Amino acid sequence: MTDIPARPAVRAADFKVPWIRLAPWLYTIGLFVVWEVAVRLSGLPHTVLPAPSRIFQAIVQYWGPISRNSVQTLYTTLLGFGLAVVAGLGIGLFIGWSKTIYAGLYPLMIGFNAIPKVALVPILVIWFGIGTVPAVLTAFLISFFPIVVNVATGLATIEPETEDVLRALGAKKLDIMLKVGIPRSMPYFFGSLKVAITLAFVGSVVSETVASNNGLGQMMSQAQSQFNVPLVFAGLLALAVEGIAMYAVMAWIEKRSTGWAHRSTMGN
Amino acid sequence: MSLVSIDNVDMRYGGAGGTLAVQGLDMKVNKGEFVAVVGPSGCGKSTLMKLVTGLHIPQQGTVIVANEHVTKPVSIVGMAFQNPTMLPWRTTLDNILLPLEIVERHRHRLRANKAEYVAKAEALLATVGLKGFGDKFPWQLSGGMQQRANLCRALIHEPELLMLDEPFGALDAFTREELWCVIRDLHAARGTTIMLVTHDLRESVFLADRIFVMSARPGRVIAEHRVEFARPRDLAIMYEPAFNDKVQQLRAQIAEARVTA
Ligand SMILES: Nc1ncnc2c1ncn2[C@@H]1O[C@H](COP(=O)(O)OP(=O)(O)OP(=O)(O)O)[C@@H](O)[C@H]1O
Ligand SMILES: [Mg+2]
């Protein structure tokens, strides 16, 4: 009598499908299936909207240039992003250091961020010529802002009580920054990396499209001028894959480095 | 000789047109004494604590601590606030050791004498009933346990003057009485001077040698009570008539101070 209810429970556990884990894959496959079916039924020419099967065909056909340009784009993006991390952390700490600096530089930063970065590419080309450098710098310029803002916010929002406890012990500004400000702003910093890496891709591809002889952006704009629409989409797909992969890496780093900030999800 | 001497102090927040928190405040605390400060809510008790620790500098009057004019944060104090401000990325033990990383006297010795300090922190944890919880993070502790840890942090650098701002506010009655005894024994053993702000009149009568009653804002001292019960005091004195008389007397005064506001 007692073991009867236990059996179905064991069964259910055995056959339990990890739906949440599978969901991203299933949805992606679903999107491609719907896309394929829609293109076939509507009879759209592949110069307008190629079906996924046509795109995969293009990927196989142009595997050499796609992989070469993907590596190039990943390289410029990561370089720009790396610069953004270093500069963003430094400037963020500098801005968050004092209320006066924060007040003075914040409007400047907002103004700078409002400039469309594509408008800067011609200037960068004048300074550095066509190629990798403008792409790296565009990726840098577009992605360092969220890092700066997040680090500065983490520093500027220290609880006054915490600060009082330390000040009452004779802590200097530097002590408060080292013991509280910087550790406290780390979750903000790592959180901003996810936003920054996707923006960095936008920056490098925009620059490559406008002024480069390398990279996915340049490859797509060239394919477009030859009406090779499947190759354009193949480039987009490659970008999406790189973007998702780097986002996942950043999310993993965030989780690993600031576990205390995710305490509610740690099952304690 | 008084350790703390507050003389005709005015403190206003937020510039000339701001809130006048305390006005004409006078208070003297002797070395080794245990004083409690009670009064209506918002009357400036926390402000008084911040004036004594040097976190705020008054616009008028003088605050003298250990024969020195207070013009910047005072180094001989330990402070525990009502809400425990533990840092979530440090373990409880590391939180308690934090003052040692800052106080001049200890910060240069900390690295070389780490084991000695850790042993001391663990002994303190044991006195407040948190033995073995040092390696837990603060957010893994209950509210009451965090309060206890908070108390340990205020004590680790052996301050001459301990400032407690409603440190037992969020605790249940039993834990509170337990911690009263911890504080009482600490005061007896070390002779630390203690200033305690509280809303609990029984707490003030049980622990203090002298009790200051403050008026409604702008706060000043309107009455001073000497508590004559012999030390060491037992929790049982709270059931004596003389104890209840004292509590009633304080209650009446605060009720009156609230009405006249
Ligand atoms: N940082 C601040 N800025 C402006 N006004 C303040 C500030 N801190 C306190 N005040 C004001 O000063 C007065 C006294 O505040 P304080 O915190 O000292 O009261 P309290 O006696 O500790 O009250 P409670 O018993 O509720 O804790 C209050 O009217 C409050 O509004
Ligand atoms: Mg208060």
CATH number for the domain harbouring residue A183: 1.10.3720.10
Q: What is residue B261's predicted lDDT score, i.e. its pLDDT?
A: 62
Residue B100: closest CA among chain A residues belongs to which residue?
A: A169
List chain A residues with CB under 8 Å of B73. 167-170
| A166 Cα to the center of ligand 1, angstroms | 20
> Quick one: B2 exposed, middle or buried, by C-beta within 10 A (0-12, 13-18, 19+)?
middle
Pocket mutation for ligand 1, best pick of B6, B11, B13 (most atoms within 8 Å of C-beta): B13
Amino acid at A58: A
Nearest CB to A162 within list B53, B85, B104: B85
Contact (CB<8Å) B98/A179: yes
Cα separation, B175 vs B259, in Å, equals 33
List chain A residues with CB under 8 Å of B139. 260, 263, 268
Q: What is residue A13's predicted lDDT score, i.e. its pLDDT?
A: 55
Domains in chain A, number: 1
CA distances to A84, A202, B35 from A143, in Å: 6, 9, 56
User: Mean pLDDT over all residues of chain B?
Assistant: 90
List chain B residues with CB under 8 Å of A261. 88-89
Alpha carbon nearest to ligand 1 atom 25, residue:
B41
B161-165 vs B77-80, strand pairing mode = parallel
Cα distance from B226 to chain A (closest Cα, Å)?
29
Strand partners, B226: B210
Residue A106 within a domain: yes
Q: What is residue A266's predicted lDDT score, i.e. its pLDDT?
A: 43
For residue B63, report the phi and psi dihedrals to the nearest 5 degrees: -120, 125
| A115 Cα to the center of ligand 1, angstroms | 44
Q: What is residue B122's predicted lDDT score, i.e. its pLDDT?
A: 93
Residue B48 CA, closest ligand 1 atom number:
18
Alpha helices in chain A (DSSP H): 6-14, 19-42, 52-61, 63-97, 99-114, 121-128, 132-156, 160-168, 173-176, 182-210, 215-225, 229-257
CA B150 to chain centre: 12
Contact (CB<8Å) A165/B101: no
Contact (CB<8Å) A164/B88: no
Cα separation, B207 vs B181, in Å, equals 9
B193-197 vs B161-165, strand pairing mode = parallel
Q: Which residues sit with their C-beta closer than 6 Å to ligand 1?
A: B 13-14, 19, 21, 41-47, 217
Q: What is residue B153's predicted lDDT score, i.e. its pLDDT?
A: 92
Q: What is residue A6's predicted lDDT score, i.e. its pLDDT?
A: 47
Cα distance from A233 to chain B (closest Cα, Å)?
45
Q: How many CA atoms are closer than 13 Å to the CA of A125, on its beta-carbon side?
A: 16
Nearest CB to A168 within list B77, B83, B104: B77
Q: Which stretches in chain B have pLDDT values below 50? A: none
Cα separation, A256 vs A108, in Å, equals 34
Q: Hey, how many other C-beta atoms are within 10 angstroms of the C-beta on A47? A: 10
Alpha carbon nearest to ligand 1 atom 5, residue:
B13
CATH of domain B2-76+160-259: 3.40.50.300
Cα distance from B89 to chain A (closest Cα, Å)?
6
Q: Which stretches in chain A have pLDDT values below 70? A: 1-15, 262-268
Q: What is residue A264's predicted lDDT score, i.e. its pLDDT?
A: 53
**Residue A97: domain span:** 76-257
Q: What is residue B163's predicted lDDT score, i.e. its pLDDT?
A: 92
List chain A residues with CB under 8 Å of B153. 165
List chain A residues with CB under 8 Å of B74. 168
List pLDDT tens digits, range B185-244. Answer: 989 998 899 999 999 999 999 999 999 999 998 899 999 999 989 888 999 999 999 999
Q: What is residue A2's predicted lDDT score, i.e. its pLDDT?
A: 45
Nearest CB to B102 within list A161, A170, A263: A170
Residue A164 within a domain: yes
Residue A263 within a domain: no
Q: Which of B50, B89, B153 to mutate to test the interface with A (most CBs of A within 10 A)?
A: B89
CA distances to A155, B120, B136, B187 from B156, in Å: 27, 8, 18, 14
Where do the domains of chain B lie? 2-76+160-259, 86-159
| B229 Cα to the center of ligand 2, angstroms | 27
Cα distance from A17 to chain B (closest Cα, Å)?
32
Residue A184 within a domain: yes
Residue A237 within a domain: yes
List chain B residues with CB under 8 Å of A161. 81, 83, 85
Q: What is residue B171's predicted lDDT score, i.e. its pLDDT?
A: 79
Alpha carbon nearest to ligand 1 atom 12, residue:
B21
Closest ligand to C-alpha of residue B12 is 1
